[in-house]
Amino acid sequence: MEELQDFPTLVAESEQMGEPWDLVLIAALSGEDGNMPTSEDAEEPLKVMANDVVTGGDLSAYLAFNREGKPVVFG
């Protein structure tokens, strides 16, 4: 897995996907026994995050940033 080094790299990579966006939500997963979580480990939490967005759920568990990398506070 290639890690992003900075926010401008995230924006540049996202532009290659072709989907416009205004906010990015960030969450973290812990691994086990010194190992990073796998893609499979991330599937269910990602579904929960997407459901929270779609249903207007509580987003306070996530960090949010706009395209300029500035934090966004919901409230």
| Alpha carbon distance 31, 34 (integer Å) | 6
The length of the chain is 75
What pTM value is reported for the model? Answer: 0.77
| Alpha carbon distance 61, 25 (integer Å) | 10
| Alpha carbon distance 71, 11 (integer Å) | 15
pLDDT, position 70: 96
pLDDT, position 3: 77
Q: Within 10 A of 11 (CB to CB), how many other CB atoms are there?
A: 16
pLDDT, position 2: 67
| Alpha carbon distance 55, 39 (integer Å) | 24
Region 63-72: what's the mean pLDDT?
A: 95
